[in-house]
Amino acid sequence: MKKTILFLWFILVLFSSLSAQDEPDSTVSLEVCLLKTNYGDMQFRFFDDAAPLTTAKFKNLVKEGFYDSLTFYRVVKDHVIQA
């Protein structure tokens, strides 16, 4: 009998602690860059958590206008674009 009560108490504590956890925020902000070309538009997603320095440098170059009127000199479909 004592083992049954102890087991039920353990289950109760376990489930109450699981239900007390904070739920993750379901809203995710997604920052994208829109590149407009004569051949169509492209969107780029930023992964700040994986590459913070690279994304910060790219964003800074965009703000400075570095990519304005830049010509693509190599395009490999579904693989790479180089400017």
Residues 61-70 have pLDDT tens digits of 989 988 888 8
Confidence of residue 7 (pLDDT cuts 50, 70, 90): low
pLDDT over 80 (residue 12): no
For residue 61, being part of any structural domain is answered with yes
For residue 15, being part of any structural domain is answered with no
- Determine the Cα–Cα distance for residues 83 and 14; give it in Å rounded to an integer: 57
For residue 26, being part of any structural domain is answered with no
For residue 1, being part of any structural domain is answered with no
**pLDDT reported for residue 64:** 93
For residue 66, being part of any structural domain is answered with yes
Number of domains in the chain: 1
For residue 52, being part of any structural domain is answered with yes
For residue 70, being part of any structural domain is answered with yes
- Determine the Cα–Cα distance for residues 45 and 33; give it in Å rounded to an integer: 7
User: Distance between terminal CA atoms of the chain?
Assistant: 76
Residues 20-74 have pLDDT tens digits of 556 665 665 678 888 888 878 888 888 888 888 999 998 999 899 888 888 888 8
For residue 10, being part of any structural domain is answered with no
Give the structural domain span for 71.
Answer: 32-82
